[in-house]
Amino acid sequence: MPAPTFPPHRSNGNNSGDGLAGRTSQGGHNNGTYHSNPPDASSALVELQSHEFPSYFSERDGRLYHSSSSPYPLPVDTPEQERLRVLHHILHQFLGANYVGPIPETLAFDQGRRKMALDVCTGTGIWAMEMSREFPWVHFRGFDIVPIATRYPPNNVQFELDDVNTQYRWGNGTFDVVHARDISLAVLDFHAVLDEVARVLRPGGLFVSCEWDPYPTFDPAYNRNLATHAPACCRFFDAVNDALDSCRGLRPIPELIPSILESKGCFTAISPRTLYIPIGAWRADPAWRSIGVDCRRAHQRYADSIKPLLIEAGWTQNGLDRLVGEYVREMDSLNGLVAVIHIVHARKI
């Protein structure tokens, strides 16, 4: 696979160049921004020039990965970015919006001060960019371990480089909203992450979490057990979750996030919700069928992207081909299979 290519340098009229970010350290970690707008005033931000971008990536077996110390196990190349976009659109279709909970009232225009929102593990940056058009008076910030979001976001959006497992560069009480979606595969300790979320939230600020369950299940109306009625799916996700634990120290626990928030003692109005997204075209309604087809496609791409981790965990190529092949065939043939997403929002006291 060739090295990634990026847009050429473009001046933004502020003598700071365009581009990404930075790498001066603050608190013992690196951070920076990629944008076409003046960055936040901070000595911790230094722009990354075009020739430095490839140093944030590494190539293995024809796939592109991050080169940071993050435990995140998946590629960061075009096929994986497309999977993330598909998941974004699935949730938007399902929810009818880019958010749940009282985000509109939290981000309502305030003549007295600037509203701020942070997108943790922003990935392609699609959530922050779409939200920035809906709330143009809000300043959105997003960070991730690799520069895969656009280098030319809207004027009220800025992307930075940072690791969710470190202390963030922003001061206490900076943000009105902190949004964390699908971050489980990057988080070593949810307690520590939520401590940091609480620190950067303003009193009355809103935290929103959306995390996929590490296992699919059957729609409650079907009253079926996964191990009994979808054994190949169960074997595949058993293998994946064992590999995440043994090779990366990752134990995705999305269903426990509400109780962790409760344990912090600094959140109130903790509101959990569980959604069931169809996998496959088994729903009769055309809109549901479309969501199900997209969800199945995302799962198929995930199975392809996770293969290198399973090889690292000791699977042979023949065993892996059989494991994934049986899972994909079973997923294609089952009615009632759903992906589970755990959503919770809470206010900072």
pLDDT of res. 266 = 98
Residue 52 carries which DSSP code? G
pLDDT-wise least confident of 42-46, 59-63, 103-107, 108-112? 42-46
pLDDT-wise least confident of 21-25, 34-38, 49-53, 213-217? 21-25
Note whether residue 262 is domain-resident: yes
C-alpha dist (Å) from residue 153 to 20, 225, 230, 272: 11, 45, 43, 32
pLDDT of res. 52 = 80
Note whether residue 308 is domain-resident: no
Mean predicted confidence (pLDDT) in 178-203: 98
Note whether residue 285 is domain-resident: no
Residue-wise pLDDT for 123-140, tens only, equals 999 999 999 999 999 999
pLDDT band at 147 (very low <50, low <70, confident <90, very high): very high
Residue-wise pLDDT for 244-300, tens only, equals 999 999 998 999 999 999 999 999 999 999 999 999 999 999 999 999 999 999 999
The domain tally of the chain equals 1
Here the tokens at position 252 are: 């995705």
Cα–Cα distance measured from residue 155 to residue 150, given in angstroms and rounded to the nearest whole number: 12
Q: Are 147 and 161 in contact (CB under 8 A)?
A: yes
Cα 243 to the chain's mean position, in Å?
20
Residue 48 carries which DSSP code? B
Residue-wise pLDDT for 195-219, tens only, equals 999 999 999 999 999 999 999 999 9
Note whether residue 186 is domain-resident: yes
pLDDT of res. 51 = 79
Cα–Cα distance measured from residue 21 to residue 146, given in angstroms and rounded to the nearest whole number: 11
Mean predicted confidence (pLDDT) in 84-89: 97
pLDDT of res. 150 = 87
Note whether residue 97 is domain-resident: yes
Cα–Cα distance measured from residue 330 to residue 16, given in angstroms and rounded to the nearest whole number: 53
pLDDT band at 194 (very low <50, low <70, confident <90, very high): very high
CATH code at 27?
3.40.50.150
Q: Is the pTM of this model over 0.75?
A: yes
Residue 197 belongs to domain spanning: 19-214+253-275+338-348
Q: State what percent of residues in the chain have pLDDT above 90.
A: 82
Note whether residue 287 is domain-resident: no
Note whether residue 109 is domain-resident: yes
Note whether residue 317 is domain-resident: no
pLDDT of res. 25 = 31
pLDDT of res. 307 = 96
Mean predicted confidence (pLDDT) in 184-204: 98
Here the tokens at position 140 are: 């959105």
